[in-house]
Amino acid sequence: MKMQNKLAKSHASLMTLVLLLVGLSSGEVFANYAAAQKAFKQKNYNLAAGHFFRASNSSSVATKRKAEWGLAESLYNLEFYYSASKYYSRIVRRGASGSNPFFRKSLDRLGTVNSRLALGQGHVSRLFKKRTTDVPQSAQGFYYYYSGLESFQSSQTKSAFEYFKNVPSNSPYYPRAKFYQGVIANSAGNKAAATRYFEAVRKNAPRGVKGELVRELSDLNIARVRYEAKDYPEALAYYSQIPRDSDNWLESLFESSWAYFMMAKHNNVLGEIHTLQSPFFVDRFYPESYILQAITFLKLCKIKETKKSLVDFSKRYKPVMSSLRGLLERTRSKPRDLYKLVQSYRSGSLNKYREVWPILDSLSRTDYYKESKDSVRFSNREIARLKRKPQWRTSGLQKSLLSFLRKKKSLAAQASGKRLYGAARDSYEYLKELNNQTIRINTELLLKNLDRLRQELNIPVQVKKGDFIGGRKKLKVGQSLEYWPFEGEYWEDELGYYVYNLNSECRKTSRKRK
């Protein structure tokens, strides 16, 4: 009996101690939250952030969520935008329930953060697993655009189109939403609607670098729509809108060379290819230009030049194929290593893998590489600033944010590496296919099946042959032409404006056979 009394007293003492500790903990949390609010009102966001972080560990759901919102706002006001996005995102992912009063404000803030520095599509897509209609007006562009992008990349084009359609016209995401509507309309075969959407993009794209890029992509896509409709002169008019200093300029040259080919403007085709294969662009990836060059010479019955184009392809791209195959084998299970290689190439510090530089260059120009590079850059910037915040060390805030930012960097590099690997593998398959085409053309030439080859390339021309000459500029009536002979020296100012002056030898070949 005495033993039982002792145990009961001991248990009561223990419970009193636990309750006391809980009470002290609750009191400390309350004090932290009160101190955080006071510091925040005084705009002492450094102090407020530390107190809010401590209060965010509260066992009270209401206090915890208010503290998270206060912490996010403190970091936002200190321009730790990536760090703030951690807590805004946590709030948004809970959904628009009644117990989540900061959902709308957090979604609005994330839209603002994303417009200042890209959060990354992987980050944003995780926000919208729970669909909602409770979206503030100011965040509707952000919400509907990224919801549409998520659906589009999952091949759910119908729902993607509806999301894009809901992006408000005054939103910075509006031009990009219209762009994707154009892509969806074109893939559905509605070329007139696609052109209207792309024209809307051109009209609404903002000034500045980002606006110009969206405008250029619209010009490229209108050109492609016109090409598919066999309106080659109109396609060339849009290709010619791409400025020489644009990253899309070489792509416009390459695609316009196919438009010239379809118009049977062989001297223009060879002129465009002359620029693509110049020493200025030795590390750019346009292997198909050699095939187009070969079949263009073949159309002119210039067999010697045809064979040389095929040999030049093999000399330039067979080493690329071999080295790329080895690179793919080495990075199959380590896609982050491929990301680092692209990063090293882009920074100019890569001194090996010279054969695959054209592939690395191509990969470095992809949107997903640029996005991941930005994520890493912005994370590094905040990490450096966080290390100069010793006052956040004792609360644990510094450690928590450093962990978040390092993980964000790692995930960005890993996700980008996987997509880069897929693109590199596609490039390898593309090279294999082109190599098989060179073998087939060579075989037919050896068998002297020239007529059959030319017949297969006998593409009907539905436009006047004299419409274009001298690059992609329309020939004006009465305009005189002056041909400058190429003597082995490239002039940078003339890149993109070369035109050959070759006559067809088909009649001579035909007479010889008779």
Taking only the tens place, the pLDDT of each residue in 169-213 is 988 889 999 999 999 999 999 999 999 999 999 888 888 777 788
Q: Is the pLDDT score of 266 beyond 60?
A: yes
CA distance 373 to 360: 14
CA distance 159 to 143: 14
* Look-up of token digits 């969806």: 184
- Please give the model's pTM, rounded to 2 decimal places: 0.81
Amino acid at site 247: D
Q: Is 105 helix (H, G, I), strand (E, B) or coil?
A: helix
Model pLDDT for residues 269-303, shown as the tens digit of each residue: 999 999 899 888 888 999 999 999 999 998 898 99
Cβ contacts of 122 within 8 Å, gap of 6 or more = 411, 412, 415
Q: What are the CA-CA distances from residue 474 to residues 34, 126, 234, 261, 470 (Å)? A: 72, 49, 11, 16, 8
Determine whether domain 35-446 maps to CATH 3.40.1440.10. no
pLDDT mean over 141-167: 91
Q: How many CB atoms lie within 10 A of CB 204?
A: 17
Model pLDDT for residues 466-478, shown as the tens digit of each residue: 444 444 555 443 3
pLDDT confidence of residue 131? 74
Cβ contacts of 306 within 8 Å, gap of 6 or more = 294, 295, 297, 298, 441, 445
Contact 148, 180 (CB under 8 A): yes
CA distance 43 to 377: 28
Tokens of 245: 């200093």
Per DSSP, helices labelled H in 447-505 are: 450-456
Tokens of 40: 């925040």
pLDDT-derived band at 451 (thresholds 50, 70, 90) equals low
Q: Which residue has the higher pLDDT, 331 or 134?
A: 331
Q: Which helix (H) or strand (E) holds 169?
A: none
pLDDT-derived band at 376 (thresholds 50, 70, 90) equals very high
pLDDT confidence of residue 324? 96
